[in-house]
Chain A
Amino acid sequence: MVHYECRNCGAGLTVESNQIAVVCTFCRDPSIIERPPRSDRPLPSFSLGFVIQEGRAQAAANRRIARAWLAPQAFRRARAETVTGVYVPTYLYSAHCESDFKVEIGEQYQESETYTTTENGRSVQRTRTVTSTEWYPLRGRYSAYVERVVSASSGIPNPELEAIEPFDLRALHRFRAETLAGFAAEEASLPTATCWANAREEASAEVGERISKFLPGDSQRSLEQRVDFRNEDLTLALLPVWVLAVRYHPERRVVRMLINGQTGALYVRTPISKYKVLTLAMVVIGLCFLALWKSGVFE
C-alpha cells in the first residue's frame, strides 16, 4: 500500500502499490499517480477509451443474473453492485512467424464392396459403395503475421480477459494520463517475462489453428509444427473493463463479473445450485423412463 495526499482537499489516500488512478473518497477529485518508468514497469503506449456507459453495463449484468436458471435463488435475486471502471494493463504482442509443419492428410475415395446378407432365409451377395480415406504425408512451410492481446494484470488473469475479447484496436489512442481520470487503473503487475511466455503460447496456439484451417484434404491427423517467432514486439496498453461484484450470500464469496468497456461482452462464473442440478437430472431421467415405458420397452 502507498500513501498519497489528495492535491485538492489534502485528505490522505491509501492505494494499492500498483494503482495509477484513484478518486479521492472525500472530494471525488480524480488523481493520477505518476511514477518514472522502469524496465519492469514500462509506461503504457496506448489506451482504449470506455464506450459502454456504467448504467448500461450494470443493466447487462443484471439481465445475465436473472437468466442464470441453474444458479441459487439468492444469486438470481441479487443485483450487481460496486461497479468499477478499470483500465486493465495488457500487452499487445505482434510477431512475424515462420512455421515448418508435418501432417498426414486424409483424402477420401469411394469403392464398391461385396458383402453377404440374408434375404427371405437365403444367403445372397450384394455390393455397396463405401467411402474410405487414404493418408498422405505432407510437409510444408507457413509464414504469417500474428497479433495477440495478453493480460499484464494479476487481478484479471488471461483466460478471463480472453473471455471478453476482442477489443477493437483501431480505436486505440496514444497514452495520456488524463484519459485515466475518473476511473481506476493499475500498472502491469505480472512480470514481463511471464507476459512474453503467455503471448508466445497464445500465438503458437493461434498459428496451430491457422495451419489446421490452411491444410487441404478431407481430414488431417498428427499435425506437428515448429514455430519460429521473429521481430517480436510487446507493447503495454490499457484496456477498459467494467468490474462488477454480486454479493448474494453473507458466507459465500462475492461473484465477480467482467464487461468489455468497449463492446459490452460479459464474463461471469455463475455459481451452480446443486439442488437445482439434482432436480433437473431427476426430471430428465424420469422423462426418459416415461418415454421408454410408453414405447413398450418394459413390456
Chain B
Amino acid sequence: MIPPCTRCGSELALGDLRCPICALVTPPVSVKGMPQGDTARVFRCQGCGAAVTYDIQAQAPVCGFCRAVVALETQADPLEEAEYFPAFGVDLAMARAALEAWWRVPRFFCPGALSSSAMVEDLRPLRWVAWVFDVEATVSWAADSNAGSRRSDWAPHSGQFEEQYQDVVVSASRGLTQSETRQLTPYYASDHVFAPNPDLAMESTALGKPVVVERFNVQRSAARKLTSLSLQALAEQSAARRVPGTRMRNLRVEVVPRRLVTRRVAFPVYVAAYRYNGKLFRAIVHGRKEGFVIGRTPIAWSKVVLLVLIALALLAALIVSVSGAD
C-alpha cells in the first residue's frame, strides 16, 4: 500500500515520482551507503567492466562496449487496467426479455410491427470501462452577472466554496457513446460496484457466453488529465449555481483537489444487435437494472409524412381563415 500524498492527501500509484495533483515529491531514495569523504568514481559495466556513459538514444547509462543498459527509475505511465468488475445482475434470458418488452413500448414514430417483426441478431454480455473518482475540492470562482449591475449590464462577483464529489464516473469506453454511458451510470449502485469481484470465468459460464471486457487504451497520465478535465467541468457547474442573478458571463473556476481517489471499473451491460425490415439497429441492455434498455429504434416514415401533411393542412386552413377575416 503506497501512502497518500502528504500535501493534498490524493492517492499515489506505484511509479509516481511526484504527486500528479499538487506536484509534491514522493519520498526520496535512501542515501545510505554514500561515501563519507569526497571520492571520484568511474561507473563500470557489471558485465564487461568498461566505463558506463549516459547514452542519449537509449535515454539511460549504457556500456560503450557491450551496450548493457543501466535501468533507471522513471515516472511510470502504464496502460490503465480495470480493477473492479461488478457482477451481472441480469442474465441473458432477462436481457432478451427486457429487449422484447422495450420493442413493445408504444412510441409515436416507431413502426407498430416492431415487436412482432424485429429479430435479435446478437446479444452479448460486455463490460465497458470507466474511472470512478471521489475527491474533495476547494473551488474559487469569478464571474460577471446582472446582480448588482448599474449602468452596465454586468457586475463582477467572486467566491470560494468547498465541495465533495463522490462516485463521479468518467467513461473510457470507445464502444459506447457518452450519452449512452451517462444514461446507464445512475443505475449502478456503489455497494455493488465496489463489492468483491466475482469469478469472471464462472460468470461467463453461467451467462452462456464469454464476457467481452473493453480495454482502457489510455495511459495513466492521459487518464489523470481526463479525470481532472471532468472535475473542472463539475466545479464549473457547481460554481454556476452560486453566481447571483439570472444571467452571467465570464465564469472562471480554479480547483484545488484533495484526497483524490480513482478506481477503474468495468461495468456490465448487454449489447444487442437487432434487425428490422432488413436494417440493423443497436440497443444496450443494463447489466444490473432489470428492464432498463436504451438504443435506436426504426422510424415509420409513413407516420412522419402523415404528420407533416396534417401540419401543412392546418397551416393552410389557418392562412385561409385569416385572409377570409380580412
Residues of A at the B interface (CB closer than 8 Å) are 2, 4-8, 13, 22, 29-37, 43, 45-46, 49-53, 92, 94, 96, 105, 107-109, 111, 132, 134, 136, 138-145, 147, 169-183, 210, 213-217, 231, 233, 235
Contacts and interface: CB of A to CB of B under 8 A. Distances in A.
**What 4 pairs between A and B have smallest CB-CB spacing?**
A182-B53, A140-B158, A107-B152, A109-B152
B163 interface: no
Given A181-B51, A181-B53, A45 B254 contact: no
Contacts of B149: 107
Contacts of B252: 213-216
B220 to A, nearest CB: 11
B152 A30 contact: no
A105 B145 CA distance: 13
Given A29-B42, A145-B256, 13 more contacts: A32-B40, A36-B34, A43-B31, A45-B25, A52-B56, A53-B56, A107-B152, A173-B74, A174-B17, A174-B72, A182-B53, A214-B140, A233-B25
A3 B17 CA distance: 35
A217 B43 contact: no
Given A134-B152, A173-B73, A31 B40 contact: yes
B265 interface: no
Interface in B32-81: 34-43, 51-54, 56, 59-61, 70, 72-75, 77
Interface in B200-220: none
Interface residues of B, number: 62
B56 A50 contact: yes
A34 B56 contact: no
Given A107-B152, A107-B154, A178-B70, A96 B35 contact: no
A179 B59 CA distance: 9
B36 A36 contact: yes
B54 A145 contact: no
Question: Considering residues A6, A37, A145, which has the most beta carbons from chain B within 10 angstroms of its beta carbon?
Answer: A145
Contact of B41 (A134, A177, A182, A217): A177
Contact of A216 (B18, B21, B143): B143
A51 B156 contact: no
10 contacts: A29-B42, A43-B31, A49-B56, A105-B156, A140-B160, A143-B160, A171-B75, A173-B75, A215-B156, A216-B250
Contact of A172 (B18, B61, B144, B151): B18
Contacts of A31: 40-42
A147 B37 CA distance: 34
B53 A7 contact: no
Interface of B: 6-8, 17-18, 21-25, 28-29, 31, 34-43, 51-54, 56, 59-61, 70, 72-75, 77, 138, 140, 142-144, 148-160, 221, 249-252, 254, 256
A233 B18 CA distance: 11
A192 B38 CA distance: 21
A33 B34 CA distance: 11
B144 A216 contact: yes
A94 B140 CA distance: 19
Nearest to A169: B18
Contacts of B39: 33-34
A107 B254 contact: no
A214 B142 contact: yes
Contacts of B153: 107, 109
A173 B150 CA distance: 56
A35 B38 contact: yes
Nearest to A137: B156
Contacts of A94: 18, 22-25
A13 to B, nearest CB: 7
A178 B156 contact: no
Contacts of A13: 40
A231 B53 CA distance: 37
A218 to B, nearest CB: 8
B25 A96 contact: no
Nearest to A230: B7
A143 B38 contact: no
A216 B40 contact: no
A140 B40 contact: no
A44 to B, nearest CB: 9
B140 A5 contact: no
Contacts of B254: 142-144, 210, 214
A210 B253 CA distance: 11
Contacts of A8: 42, 51
Contact of A37 (B17, B31, B53, B152): B31
A214 B143 CA distance: 9
Given A145-B23, A216-B142, A170 B38 contact: no
A172 B43 contact: no
Contacts of B34: 34, 36-37, 43
A215 B158 CA distance: 8
Nearest to B153: A109
